[in-house]
C-alpha cells in the first residue's frame, strides 16, 4: 500500500529572481480539482512564485492550453492538474495515455511542467491523492515544475535564440553568436 511507504521528497528550490507559473486545471471532478489546486497554490506560494490559473474542460485539453501559453506568454513553468477515474470503456486509457504523452512531449521541448493529472481506479483513490493534508499530489506537481524551472535557470538557456532566424533579426543583433552562411 502506497501510504505506508517512505518516499524521499526534495526540498523546494529557492529563487533569486521572480518566477511566474501557470496552473492549468481540468475541474471535471470539481472537488478533486479544488483540493489539488489548493495544494499547488500553497507550494507555489511557499516558494515565492506568482501564478495564474486557467480552467479547461478535461485532461485532454491541458497540454494544448500549456502549449498555447508557452508560445504566447511569459510563464517560467506550468502545473497540470486533473483527474481521470477508470470507467466502463476504453476512453479512460485514451485520456490517460494521450494527456500524459502530450505533456511529456512538451517537457522534452523544454517546457517546465509538473504533471498532476491523477489516473486512478476509483474516487476514493483520487480523494486521498488530491487531499493537501494527505498525499498532496497538486503540491507535488507544483514542486516538480519548480525543480524543472530551477534546472532551466541553473543552465541559463533562454527561450530565445533557438531555431531559424531571418537575416533582419541577425543584423539587428538578435543572435549574438557567429553568423554562418
pLDDT at position 2, please?
A: 54
93-143 residue pLDDT tens: 999 999 999 999 999 999 999 999 999 999 999 999 999 999 999 999 999
Helix axes 123-130, 137-155, angle to 10 degrees: 50
How far is residue 63's CA from residue 77's CA, in Å, rounded to a whole number? Answer: 13
pLDDT at 4 over 50: yes
Sequence-ordered list of residues with C-beta below 8 angstroms from that of 75, at least 6 positions apart, any chain: 20, 21, 22, 52, 69
- The superfamily in CATH containing domain 18-171 is Lumazine/riboflavin synthase (3.40.50.960)
DSSP state letter for 80: E
Q: Could you tell me the pTM of the whole model?
A: 0.84
CA distance 129 to 136: 6
User: 119 CB contacts (<8 Å, ≥6 apart)?
Assistant: 84, 92, 96, 100
The three cell numbers of residue 119 are 489516473
Q: Which residues are catalytic?
A: 91
Is residue 163 packed enough to be buried (19+ CB in 10 Å), middle (13-18) or exposed (0-12)? exposed
Q: Mean pLDDT of all residues in the chain?
A: 89
pLDDT of residue 177: 41
Predicted confidence at residue 46, as pLDDT, reads 97
Confidence check: pLDDT of 154 > 70: yes
* 3 state DSSP class of 148: helix
The predicted structure's pLDDT at residue 25? 98
Mean pLDDT calculated for residue range 35-52: 98
pLDDT at residue 60 is higher than 80: yes
Taking the CB of residue 129, how many other CB atoms lie within 10 A of it? 24
What radius of gyration, in Å, describes the C-alpha atoms of the chain? 18
Task: Say how far apart CA 105 and CA 100 lie, in whole Å.
Answer: 9
Amino acid at each position: 500500500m502506497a501510504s505506508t511507504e517512505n518516499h524521499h521528497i526534495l526540498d523546494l528550490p529557492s529563487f533569486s529572481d521572480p518566477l511566474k507559473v501557470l496552473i492549468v486545471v481540468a475541474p471535471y471532478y470539481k472537488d478533486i480539482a479544488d483540493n489539488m489546486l489548493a495544494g499547488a497554490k500553497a507550494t507555489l506560494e511557499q516558494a515565492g512564485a506568482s501564478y495564474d490559473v486557467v480552467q479547461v474542460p478535461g485532461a485532454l485539453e491541458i497540454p494544448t492550453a500549456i502549449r498555447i501559453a508557452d508560445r504566447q506568454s511569459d510563464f517560467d513553468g506550468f502545473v497540470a492538474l486533473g483527474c481521470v477515474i477508470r470507467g466502463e470503456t476504453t476512453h479512460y486509457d485514451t485520456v490517460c495515455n494521450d494527456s500524459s504523452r502530450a505533456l511529456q512531449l512538451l517537457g522534452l521541448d523544454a517546457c517546465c511542467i509538473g504533471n498532476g493529472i491523477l489516473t486512478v481506479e476509483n474516487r476514493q483513490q483520487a480523494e486521498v491523492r488530491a487531499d493537501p493534508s494527505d498525499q498532496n499530489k497538486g503540491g507535488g506537481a507544483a514542486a516538480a515544475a519548480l525543480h524543472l524551472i530551477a534546472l532551466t535557470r541553473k543552465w541559463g538557456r533562454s527561450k530565445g535564440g533557438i531555431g531559424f532566424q531571418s537575416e533582419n533579426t541577425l543584423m539587428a543583433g538578435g543572435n549574438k553568436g557567429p553568423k554562418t552562411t
